[in-house]
Protein backbone atom coordinates (compact mmCIF):
# COMPACT_ATOMS: atom_id res chain seq x y z
CA UNK A 1 0.00 0.00 0.00
CA UNK A 2 1.55 3.32 -1.03
CA UNK A 3 1.88 5.78 1.82
CA UNK A 4 1.60 9.48 1.18
CA UNK A 5 3.07 12.13 3.44
CA UNK A 6 0.80 14.89 4.76
CA UNK A 7 2.52 17.42 2.50
CA UNK A 8 1.30 15.44 -0.50
CA UNK A 9 -2.30 15.44 0.63
CA UNK A 10 -4.32 17.41 -1.85
CA UNK A 11 -7.61 19.10 -1.15
CA UNK A 12 -10.68 17.50 -2.68
CA UNK A 13 -11.21 20.23 -5.23
CA UNK A 14 -7.79 19.42 -6.69
CA UNK A 15 -8.89 15.87 -7.26
CA UNK A 16 -11.21 14.67 -9.93
CA UNK A 17 -12.46 11.14 -9.99
CA UNK A 18 -11.96 9.29 -13.26
CA UNK A 19 -15.72 9.38 -13.78
CA UNK A 20 -15.81 13.15 -13.44
CA UNK A 21 -12.69 13.46 -15.59
CA UNK A 22 -14.25 11.49 -18.41
CA UNK A 23 -17.32 13.68 -18.22
CA UNK A 24 -15.15 16.80 -18.30
CA UNK A 25 -13.07 15.40 -21.14
CA UNK A 26 -16.20 14.60 -23.13
CA UNK A 27 -17.40 18.13 -22.65
CA UNK A 28 -14.12 19.65 -23.83
CA UNK A 29 -13.63 18.03 -27.16
CA UNK A 30 -14.48 14.90 -29.08
CA UNK A 31 -11.74 12.70 -30.44
CA UNK A 32 -8.60 14.53 -29.38
CA UNK A 33 -8.44 13.53 -25.72
CA UNK A 34 -6.93 10.44 -24.24
CA UNK A 35 -6.69 8.92 -20.79
CA UNK A 36 -3.57 7.46 -19.27
CA UNK A 37 -3.85 4.22 -17.35
CA UNK A 38 -3.86 5.22 -13.70
CA UNK A 39 -2.50 3.36 -10.70
CA UNK A 40 -2.74 4.86 -7.26
CA UNK A 41 -3.18 8.58 -7.12
CA UNK A 42 -1.29 10.04 -10.02
CA UNK A 43 -1.35 13.10 -12.14
CA UNK A 44 -2.73 12.40 -15.57
CA UNK A 45 -0.58 13.74 -18.38
CA UNK A 46 -2.68 16.47 -19.86
CA UNK A 47 -3.96 15.66 -23.31
CA UNK A 48 -3.53 18.14 -26.13
CA UNK A 49 -6.58 20.16 -27.02
CA UNK A 50 -7.41 20.89 -30.62
CA UNK A 51 -6.06 24.32 -31.37
CA UNK A 52 -6.32 25.52 -27.78
CA UNK A 53 -4.22 25.96 -24.67
CA UNK A 54 -3.54 22.80 -22.66
CA UNK A 55 -5.95 22.24 -19.75
CA UNK A 56 -4.52 22.35 -16.21
CA UNK A 57 -3.01 19.19 -14.74
CA UNK A 58 -5.64 17.07 -13.06
CA UNK A 59 -4.97 14.46 -10.40
CA UNK A 60 -7.11 11.38 -10.85
CA UNK A 61 -7.37 9.41 -7.68
CA UNK A 62 -7.87 5.65 -7.84
CA UNK A 63 -7.35 2.67 -5.59
CA UNK A 64 -4.53 0.24 -6.36
CA UNK A 65 -6.90 -1.77 -8.59
CA UNK A 66 -7.40 1.30 -10.78
CA UNK A 67 -10.94 2.06 -9.65
CA UNK A 68 -11.83 5.72 -9.14
CA UNK A 69 -12.46 7.17 -5.73
CA UNK A 70 -16.03 8.17 -5.01
CA UNK A 71 -16.69 11.88 -4.90
CA UNK A 72 -16.78 13.68 -1.56
CA UNK A 73 -20.46 14.29 -2.29
CA UNK A 74 -21.12 10.53 -2.40
CA UNK A 75 -19.03 9.85 0.69
CA UNK A 76 -20.67 12.45 2.93
CA UNK A 77 -24.27 11.93 1.82
CA UNK A 78 -24.73 8.16 1.85
CA UNK A 79 -23.92 6.79 5.27
CA UNK A 80 -24.73 4.20 7.87
CA UNK A 81 -24.81 5.65 11.36
CA UNK A 82 -27.58 4.11 13.45
CA UNK A 83 -26.96 6.47 16.37
CA UNK A 84 -28.63 9.12 14.20
CA UNK A 85 -30.97 7.30 11.87
CA UNK A 86 -31.35 4.12 9.85
CA UNK A 87 -31.83 6.25 6.71
CA UNK A 88 -28.61 6.43 4.73
CA UNK A 89 -29.47 9.75 3.15
CA UNK A 90 -30.63 11.31 6.43
CA UNK A 91 -27.43 11.01 8.48
CA UNK A 92 -25.69 14.14 7.14
CA UNK A 93 -28.52 16.47 8.16
CA UNK A 94 -29.25 14.84 11.52
CA UNK A 95 -25.60 14.76 12.58
CA UNK A 96 -24.57 18.22 11.40
CA UNK A 97 -24.50 19.76 14.90
CA UNK A 98 -22.83 16.79 16.58
CA UNK A 99 -20.06 18.17 18.82
CA UNK A 100 -16.69 16.68 17.93
CA UNK A 101 -14.37 19.16 19.67
CA UNK A 102 -12.59 18.56 23.03
CA UNK A 103 -12.79 14.84 22.28
CA UNK A 104 -10.78 12.29 24.19
CA UNK A 105 -10.09 8.63 23.56
CA UNK A 106 -9.37 6.48 26.58
CA UNK A 107 -7.01 3.58 25.85
CA UNK A 108 -6.71 0.97 28.59
CA UNK A 109 -7.44 -2.55 29.73
CA UNK A 110 -4.58 -5.04 29.51
CA UNK A 111 -1.83 -2.51 28.84
CA UNK A 112 1.21 -1.36 30.84
CA UNK A 113 0.76 2.28 29.94
CA UNK A 114 -2.93 3.30 29.86
CA UNK A 115 -3.51 6.76 28.43
CA UNK A 116 -6.27 9.21 27.65
CA UNK A 117 -5.57 10.98 24.39
CA UNK A 118 -6.92 14.28 23.21
CA UNK A 119 -7.79 13.85 19.52
CA UNK A 120 -5.83 17.02 18.69
CA UNK A 121 -2.73 15.37 20.19
CA UNK A 122 -3.35 12.22 18.16
CA UNK A 123 -3.41 14.33 15.01
CA UNK A 124 -0.19 16.03 15.98
CA UNK A 125 1.77 13.13 17.41
CA UNK A 126 0.96 10.37 14.93
CA UNK A 127 2.02 10.92 11.35
CA UNK A 128 -1.11 11.19 9.22
CA UNK A 129 -1.05 9.19 6.00
CA UNK A 130 -3.39 8.88 3.05
CA UNK A 131 -4.90 5.46 2.37
CA UNK A 132 -7.25 4.87 -0.54
CA UNK A 133 -9.44 1.95 0.56
CA UNK A 134 -12.49 0.15 -0.71
CA UNK A 135 -15.35 0.12 1.82
CA UNK A 136 -17.75 -2.81 1.33
CA UNK A 137 -20.92 -2.64 3.40
CA UNK A 138 -22.55 -5.90 4.50
CA UNK A 139 -25.65 -4.56 2.70
CA UNK A 140 -23.77 -5.05 -0.62
CA UNK A 141 -22.97 -1.46 -1.58
CA UNK A 142 -19.44 -0.14 -1.75
CA UNK A 143 -17.28 2.94 -2.25
CA UNK A 144 -13.63 3.87 -2.70
CA UNK A 145 -12.61 6.40 -0.05
CA UNK A 146 -9.38 8.42 0.28
CA UNK A 147 -8.87 8.47 4.05
CA UNK A 148 -6.33 10.26 6.18
CA UNK A 149 -5.29 8.66 9.41
CA UNK A 150 -2.64 6.55 11.09
CA UNK A 151 -2.19 2.85 11.80
CA UNK A 152 -3.97 1.64 14.93
CA UNK A 153 -0.79 -0.37 15.60
CA UNK A 154 1.21 2.78 16.34
CA UNK A 155 -1.25 3.80 19.05
CA UNK A 156 -1.38 0.30 20.54
CA UNK A 157 2.41 0.07 20.69
CA UNK A 158 2.50 3.28 22.71
CA UNK A 159 0.26 1.87 25.45
CA UNK A 160 2.32 -1.36 25.62
CA UNK A 161 -0.10 -4.29 25.43
CA UNK A 162 0.33 -7.06 28.01
CA UNK A 163 0.92 -10.62 26.82
CA UNK A 164 -2.56 -11.54 28.06
CA UNK A 165 -4.27 -9.09 25.65
CA UNK A 166 -5.94 -11.15 22.90
CA UNK A 167 -8.53 -8.74 21.50
CA UNK A 168 -9.20 -5.03 21.14
CA UNK A 169 -12.62 -3.67 22.04
CA UNK A 170 -13.83 -0.32 20.68
CA UNK A 171 -16.70 1.82 21.90
CA UNK A 172 -18.56 4.75 20.29
CA UNK A 173 -19.74 7.75 22.32
CA UNK A 174 -22.97 7.19 24.24
CA UNK A 175 -24.97 10.44 24.23
CA UNK A 176 -28.68 9.97 23.45
CA UNK A 177 -29.21 13.75 23.71
CA UNK A 178 -27.03 14.24 20.66
CA UNK A 179 -27.65 10.88 19.05
CA UNK A 180 -31.39 10.31 18.79
CA UNK A 181 -31.01 6.77 17.44
CA UNK A 182 -29.58 5.69 20.80
CA UNK A 183 -33.10 5.91 22.23
CA UNK A 184 -34.03 2.93 20.08
CA UNK A 185 -34.54 -0.19 22.17
CA UNK A 186 -33.66 -2.44 19.21
CA UNK A 187 -29.94 -2.21 19.86
CA UNK A 188 -27.64 -2.42 22.83
CA UNK A 189 -25.89 0.93 23.00
CA UNK A 190 -23.18 2.10 22.83
CA UNK A 191 -22.00 0.67 19.50
CA UNK A 192 -19.20 -1.79 20.24
CA UNK A 193 -16.79 -3.52 17.86
CA UNK A 194 -13.79 -5.75 18.26
CA UNK A 195 -10.72 -7.10 16.51
CA UNK A 196 -8.31 -9.89 17.27
CA UNK A 197 -4.94 -8.53 18.38
CA UNK A 198 -3.14 -9.49 15.13
CA UNK A 199 -5.91 -7.89 13.05
CA UNK A 200 -5.63 -4.73 15.12
CA UNK A 201 -1.84 -4.66 14.65
CA UNK A 202 -2.07 -5.18 10.87
CA UNK A 203 -0.73 -2.25 8.89
CA UNK A 204 -3.96 -1.89 6.88
CA UNK A 205 -5.97 -1.21 10.04
CA UNK A 206 -6.39 2.52 10.27
CA UNK A 207 -7.65 5.10 12.73
CA UNK A 208 -9.12 7.62 10.32
CA UNK A 209 -9.29 11.35 10.99
CA UNK A 210 -9.98 12.76 7.54
CA UNK A 211 -11.27 12.25 4.00
CA UNK A 212 -9.97 14.00 0.87
CA UNK A 213 -7.55 16.03 2.98
CA UNK A 214 -10.29 17.51 5.17
CA UNK A 215 -11.22 16.63 8.75
CA UNK A 216 -13.88 13.96 9.06
CA UNK A 217 -17.45 15.19 9.14
CA UNK A 218 -19.84 13.85 11.80
CA UNK A 219 -21.62 11.53 9.34
CA UNK A 220 -18.36 9.71 8.62
CA UNK A 221 -17.47 9.19 12.29
CA UNK A 222 -15.73 12.39 13.37
CA UNK A 223 -13.48 13.04 15.03
CA UNK A 224 -11.92 9.57 14.87
CA UNK A 225 -13.10 6.20 13.57
CA UNK A 226 -11.72 2.81 12.70
CA UNK A 227 -11.27 1.57 9.11
CA UNK A 228 -10.66 -2.14 8.51
CA UNK A 229 -10.86 -2.44 4.72
CA UNK A 230 -10.99 -6.24 4.34
CA UNK A 231 -14.01 -6.56 6.65
CA UNK A 232 -17.62 -5.53 6.17
CA UNK A 233 -18.13 -1.85 6.88
CA UNK A 234 -19.89 -2.39 10.20
CA UNK A 235 -16.54 -3.32 11.79
CA UNK A 236 -15.31 0.21 11.01
CA UNK A 237 -16.76 1.80 14.16
CA UNK A 238 -17.31 5.55 14.22
CA UNK A 239 -16.71 8.30 16.80
CA UNK A 240 -14.58 6.21 19.15
CA UNK A 241 -14.21 7.25 22.80
CA UNK A 242 -12.77 4.07 24.31
CA UNK A 243 -10.31 1.37 23.25
CA UNK A 244 -9.66 -1.55 25.61
CA UNK A 245 -7.31 -4.46 25.26
CA UNK A 246 -9.05 -7.54 26.61
CA UNK A 247 -8.65 -11.28 26.97
CA UNK A 248 -12.12 -12.40 25.85
CA UNK A 249 -13.61 -11.94 22.38
CA UNK A 250 -15.80 -8.81 22.59
CA UNK A 251 -19.48 -9.02 21.65
CA UNK A 252 -20.25 -6.33 19.09
CA UNK A 253 -23.56 -4.47 18.80
CA UNK A 254 -24.35 -6.47 15.67
CA UNK A 255 -23.47 -9.84 17.20
CA UNK A 256 -25.77 -9.06 20.12
CA UNK A 257 -28.57 -7.90 17.79
CA UNK A 258 -28.48 -10.83 15.33
CA UNK A 259 -25.79 -13.46 16.04
CA UNK A 260 -26.96 -15.67 13.15
CA UNK A 261 -26.45 -12.80 10.69
CA UNK A 262 -23.35 -11.01 11.94
CA UNK A 263 -20.25 -12.77 13.22
CA UNK A 264 -17.19 -11.48 14.98
CA UNK A 265 -14.86 -11.81 11.99
CA UNK A 266 -17.08 -10.29 9.28
CA UNK A 267 -14.39 -10.72 6.62
CA UNK A 268 -15.69 -9.82 3.17
CA UNK A 269 -16.35 -13.17 1.53
CA UNK A 270 -18.34 -13.55 -1.71
CA UNK A 271 -18.87 -17.24 -0.96
CA UNK A 272 -20.60 -16.82 2.36
CA UNK A 273 -24.00 -15.25 1.91
CA UNK A 274 -25.86 -13.20 4.44
CA UNK A 275 -28.89 -15.28 5.50
CA UNK A 276 -31.13 -12.78 3.68
CA UNK A 277 -29.08 -11.88 0.57
CA UNK A 278 -26.13 -12.88 -1.59
CA UNK A 279 -22.68 -11.44 -0.95
CA UNK A 280 -21.34 -12.49 -4.38
CA UNK A 281 -21.70 -9.04 -5.92
CA UNK A 282 -22.06 -5.42 -4.91
CA UNK A 283 -23.27 -2.05 -6.11
CA UNK A 284 -20.45 0.50 -6.24
CA UNK A 285 -22.05 3.85 -5.47
CA UNK A 286 -22.05 5.85 -8.70
CA UNK A 287 -22.04 2.82 -11.00
CA UNK A 288 -24.99 1.20 -12.75
CA UNK A 289 -23.73 -2.34 -13.21
CA UNK A 290 -23.10 -4.58 -10.22
CA UNK A 291 -19.54 -5.77 -9.77
CA UNK A 292 -18.20 -9.00 -8.29
CA UNK A 293 -17.25 -8.90 -4.65
CA UNK A 294 -13.63 -9.83 -3.99
CA UNK A 295 -12.45 -12.15 -1.22
CA UNK A 296 -11.27 -10.01 1.70
CA UNK A 297 -12.51 -7.05 -0.37
CA UNK A 298 -9.45 -7.38 -2.61
CA UNK A 299 -6.90 -7.41 0.23
CA UNK A 300 -6.34 -11.20 0.32
CA UNK A 301 -2.64 -10.88 -0.45
CA UNK A 302 -2.16 -8.74 2.62
CA UNK A 303 -4.45 -10.46 5.12
CA UNK A 304 -5.30 -14.06 4.12
CA UNK A 305 -2.41 -15.39 6.23
CA UNK A 306 -4.13 -14.08 9.38
CA UNK A 307 -6.74 -16.81 8.91
CA UNK A 308 -4.62 -19.79 7.88
CA UNK A 309 -6.22 -23.01 9.10
CA UNK A 310 -9.50 -21.31 10.00
CA UNK A 311 -12.81 -22.30 8.46
CA UNK A 312 -14.06 -19.01 7.02
CA UNK A 313 -17.63 -20.31 6.83
CA UNK A 314 -17.66 -21.26 10.48
CA UNK A 315 -15.88 -18.04 11.50
CA UNK A 316 -18.03 -15.64 9.51
Binding site for ligand MTE (CB under 6 A): 79-83, 135, 137, 172, 191, 220-221, 233-234, 236-239
By C-beta, is 43 or 87 nearer to ligand MTE? 87
Phi, psi for residue 171 in degrees, rounded to 5? -135, 135
Q: Are 159 and 112 in contact (CB under 8 A)?
A: yes
> Least distance (Å) from ligand MTE to the CB of residue 80?
4
By C-beta, is 239 or 293 nearer to ligand MTE? 239
Separation CA 216–CA 200 (nearest Å): 21
By C-beta, is 205 or 236 nearer to ligand MTE? 236
Residue 292 burial (CB count, 10 A): 8
For the chain, the distance separating the N- and C-terminal CA atoms, rounded to the nearest angstrom, is 26
> Least distance (Å) from ligand MTE to the CB of residue 138?
6
> Least distance (Å) from ligand MTE to the CB of residue 285?
9
> Least distance (Å) from ligand MTE to the CB of residue 196?
18
> Least distance (Å) from ligand MTE to the CB of residue 55?
32
Could you list the beta-strand ranges (E) of 155-215.
167-172, 192-196, 206-211, 214-215
By C-beta, is 55 or 283 nearer to ligand MTE? 283
Residues with Cβ < 8 Å from 163, sequence gap 6 or more? none
By C-beta, is 145 or 156 nearer to ligand MTE? 145
Q: Is 166 exposed, middle or buried (0-12, 13-18, 19+ CB in 10 A)?
A: middle
Amino acid sequence: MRKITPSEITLENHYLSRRQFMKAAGALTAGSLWLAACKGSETTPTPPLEGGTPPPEIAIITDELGDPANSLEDIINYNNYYEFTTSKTGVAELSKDFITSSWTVQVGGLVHNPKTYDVDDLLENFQQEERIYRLRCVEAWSMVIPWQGFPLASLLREVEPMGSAKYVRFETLYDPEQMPGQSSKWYQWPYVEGLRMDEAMHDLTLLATGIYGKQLLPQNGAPIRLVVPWKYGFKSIKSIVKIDLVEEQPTSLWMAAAPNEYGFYANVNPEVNHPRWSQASERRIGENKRRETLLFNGYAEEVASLYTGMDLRENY
